[in-house]
Structure 1
Amino acid sequence: MKVQRGAYNSAAMLVASLGRAASQWLLLWLFAWNGGADSAGVYALALGIAAPIFIVLELGLRNVYITSHEARSFSTYFRIRIAASCLAIGVTAGIAWVLYSENMGVVLLVALVKSLDSILDIAFASLQVRGRIYSIALAMLLNSFVTIVAAAAFYFLFSSLEAALLGSLLASLVTAAICVVPVLRFESKDPRATGLTRSVRPILRDGVPLGLSTGMTTLLSYIPLYFIAFVGNEEAAGIFAVMIYFITFANLFYNSVQKAVLHTIVHAYMNRGLDGMLKRLRRVSAPLILFGITAALFVGFFGSKLLALIYGPSFTVDASVLWPIAISILVLPFIYTTGMLLLTYNVYWMQTIINGFSVVVVVGLGFTLLNGFSLGTAAILTLSGIACRAVVGIAASIVYSVRSDTHNRKGTLSKIGPS
């Protein structure tokens, strides 16, 4: 019954995540279809500036709240997220003013949308620990629907791509108001919250490494785009932005499964030890790998035709450019599986080390291949970063699983590594 409920939760999160991705993709499509690859490149670079900053400063608080072995006050998490969102807007605006002032309006709108989505994300953490997966899915679908309607309406009313972003901002504001206020009311009245620690330091201790880790994961996906922009090819940046959406949609599937089942894996570890957790993890990883194989074959053989059909002839690419993207999708399940394992062990710094090492590898490879940098080179960089994370993550998971087994034999099931 628990496995069946987990499958339903995963399906609900997948549908909601796909709906959210569709609404975000609509914005990219509006830029690409109406302004060509150059306009798509502007939007992609705006995301490239804002996204890593927000991800780092979000500190992975949703996962920390869900997986922490210590009971802490939700209100503290919420206040940290509010402060971090404000700081992220300021940092993003400063970087845009220095490096991308000609399109600063687009960057600021993207930053404001991300700030509201970030606040909504931490509210979802409260719902998730109470098993309210369907409530999260409904909220995400509401956000998606309102975003699509508002963005399209604002675009056709004002014939402005910035107006479409403004519609997205209003949609996020509406969804946040509907979802966040009830969560805060519940948490303030929850008798279990009385006496819980409100100290910020232990949350930052766990959140900083996780924020750096997830931020570097996001950074890895944008490094090829930075190199394309560096060589001055904004049109290629736009084409790469739509190419990378194959990985984005795959990540949404993997991430939706992870978010839906992560708390069950933690529960299995705390109650049945290493063997129970690994058994649960094997059940989760099988559909991830099956999806990866199917999606990789589809992108490799049909991706080029699909891009031209959706975005127009100017977005046609050679199939050989897409095969590194396809192989990346196939490798991703190993990253998510090892990631769930390390999150369960609360070894947040290991994720940071893995992703930091991968960033160094990809940046070094990028500069090595800088002469004649092309879309194909960018795709190879993307695959290199994902493969590096997978290999090092598997090695780390083996090490910490052995350590966990040793602790289990000693009768302890607490943190097994530095956090």
Structure 2
Amino acid sequence: MADDTATLSRRSLRLRTRPVLIGNCGYALAQFAILVVLARILGPTEVGLYALALAVTAPVQLGLGLRLRTTLSVDHSATSFSTYTRLSTALAVLALLVGSLIGCLVRPEPAFVVVVVLVAASKAVESVLDVCYGEYQRREILAAIAFSQLLRGAVTLVLVSAAAWLWGLQAALIALAVTWTLQLLLLDYPRASAADSRSTAAGPALRARDLVRRSWPLGLAAALSSLSFAVPRLTVAGLLDADALGVFAILAYPMTVVTILANSLGQANVRSLSVAVRHHGSKELVISMLRMSVVIWGLGFLGAVGAVVCGPQVAHWLLGDAVPVSVGLLLLLVAGATAAGLATIASYAVVSTTRFGWQPVVVCASIAVTLPVMYLATKAFGLTGTALGIVVMYVLQTVFGTVAALWSLRSARSVDEGAAV
């Protein structure tokens, strides 16, 4: 373990983050391009239908998925990769069934039910892919994550665009699910299996039930985080209309991009930070949090400048005359994206302390406070009010998450000092 710690300490934040960042950003751009293609070919209503299906299925898939990728990436035991994949596959199938059932209850229309089932299927495959990425992280084969994401993004964009052009939304979603399944079976599962890291283990292997007991707080937090991401869309769908939801899904996508960047920083460094915390490196954790936060603030500043200089023109190019877009709305969305990135950094700080139980508390508290604010603001000001609610929600998550991380560090130090005495 000492050698492991030394190796991790010599690798800079930039070098660890670069491959994950390239992969995540490339994949995010491909996903955004898919939204734009669907909007240009099929119209905002179809994009709104797709966004609503994501809002219904994503919290279920993430919650039942237990964020096994994160658990695996900080796992110092001899638990095999196959144990993780068997558990992940079983949970993915369960999430597919539950998500489809919820979709039937939310909007029992045949067209929407088919969309929900297809989206749930693609998210199920993605959850198993994520476990492969977790094994790459555990072994610090971070370039493999970038290659997989870039390949998946490029192939998905081409096939989904062609299917949407020829046959419509449902065909595009079938192409999405098939593409991801083939990549899982032909590339990532074989490669991650070959990289199984039990030889570097520092503890005994865990059983599937042990992983569930360990990871359920992360799963609950992931479901709540996805719900917090879905709350604005559900609010818009309930108070406005399908066209407004489609417009919002596209305008709010920069929030996804910033969150992906923050996830890149967290995913690339969470294992090294967990090693540092295990060896009482709380100072390294705090410094790394500050460095990652500066990156997010810088991106937010650039986004604000872009919103002022050319935001409405770009929005008009993407959406046409569907809904007039103001600079104020775009600035609020940029502020919400920045706050979402900072909240993600804070969540990884909590994860690195292995005090997983704080995660659902942080997210649940922020949603509970924000729900009435977002509802009233959207009802009064439309999409601008929704964006204001997003800012409030993620600012609260950032504050609560930072406090939880620092409290966990302090508690861990107190326990260690008591044991020493």
TM-score (norm 1): 0.90
Once the two structures are overlaid, the 10-residue window that deviates more, 101-110 or 3-12, is: 3-12
Corresponding residue of 1:7: 14
Aligned match of 2:300: 292
1:38 matched to 2:45: yes
Give the 5 Å matches for 1:9-408. 9-68=16-75, 70-102=77-109, 103-156=112-165, 158-177=166-185, 178-187=187-196, 196-231=204-239, 233-299=241-307, 301-369=309-377, 371-372=379-380, 374-408=382-416
SS in structure 1 of the partner of residue 92 of structure 2: helix
The 3 A distance-change label for structure 1 pair 330 and 155 is closer
Structure 1 residues 373-382 or 83-92, which shifts more? Answer: 373-382
Q: Which amino acid aligns with 1:115?
A: A
* Structure-1 separation of matches of 2:22 and 2:203: 38
- Secondary structure of 1:347's match? coil
How far did 1:271 drift? 3.2
CA shift, 1:138, in A, is 0.6
Name whichever of 367-376 and 165-174 sits farther off.
Answer: 367-376
Amino acid across the alignment from 1:160:
G
* Residues 152, 3 of structure 1: alpha-carbon distance in 2 compared, 3 angstrom cutoff: farther
Q: 1:267 to 1:107 in 2, by over 3 A?
A: same
User: Which letter maps to 2:169?
Assistant: L
Q: Which amino acid aligns with 1:297?
A: V
CA 365–260 in structure 1, closer or farther in 2 if over 3 Å, else same: same
Shift of 1:95: 1.4
Q: Decide whether the 8 Å contact of 1:27 with 1:165 is kept in 2.
A: no
- 1:66 is displaced (CA, Å) by 1.8
Aligned-pair distance for 1:70? 4.5
Unaligned runs of 5+ in 2: 1-6
Aligned-residue offset at 1:54 = 0.8
How far the C-alpha of 1:372 sits from its partner, in A, is: 4.0
Q: Secondary structure of the equivalent of 2:325?
A: coil
Whether the aligned pair in 2 keeps the contact of 1:47 and 1:110 (CA below 8 Å) is yes
**Residue type matched to 2:389 in 1?**
L
Is this contact kept in 1: 2:236–2:378, CA < 8 A?
no
Separation in structure 2 between the aligned mates of residue 344 and residue 195 of structure 1, nearest angstrom: 18
- The equivalent residue for 1:416 is none
Q: What secondary structure is seen at the aligned counterpart in 2 of 1:348?
A: coil
Tell me which residue corresponds to 1:417. Answer: none
CA RMSD of aligned residues (A): 2.5
Partners of 1:191 and 1:294 in 2: CA distance: 44
- Identify the range of structure 1 (248-257 vs 72-81) with the bigger mean alpha-carbon deviation: 72-81
Deviation, 1:104, is 1.5
CA distance in 1, matches of 2:62, 2:308: 30
**Residues 298-307 or 222-231, more deviating:** 298-307
- Would the aligned equivalents of 2:311 and 2:327 in 1 still touch at CA under 8 Å? yes
Q: Which amino acid aligns with 1:39?
A: E
SS of the residue corresponding to residue 101 of structure 1 reads coil
Following TM superposition, by how much is the alpha carbon of 1:395 offset from its aligned partner in structure 2, in angstroms? 2.4
Secondary structure at 2:73 match in 1: helix
- 1:415 aligned residue: none
Structure 1, 366-375 or 225-234: larger mean CA deviation: 366-375
What CA deviation, in whole Å up to 9, does each residue of 1:110-132 have, x standing for no partner? 11111111111101111111110
Is contact 2:24–2:264 with CA below 8 Å preserved after alignment? yes
Cα gap change, 1:167/1:338 in structure 2, threshold over 3 Å: closer, same or farther? same
When structure 1 is superposed on structure 2, of 282-291 and 236-245 the one drifting more is 282-291
AA at the equivalent of 1:212: L
Whether the 8 Å CA contact 2:289–2:346 is kept in 1: the answer is no
Unaligned runs of 5+ in 1: 413-419
Please list the CA deviations of residues 151-177 of structure 1 after superposition, one character each: whole Å capped at 9, or x if unmatched: 123233x24222222222222122111
Cα distance in structure 2, aligned partners of 1:10 and 1:192: 22
Could you tell me how far apart the structure 1 residues matched to 2:284 and 2:377 are?
45
- Paired residues of 1:231 and 1:373 also in contact (CA < 8 A): no
Report the identity percentage. Answer: 23
- Cα distance between partner residues in 2 of 1:280 and 1:379: 29
Q: Distance in 1 between matches of 2:203 and 2:345?
A: 35
Count of aligned residue pairs for this structure pair: 410
Change (3 A) 1:59 1:226: same
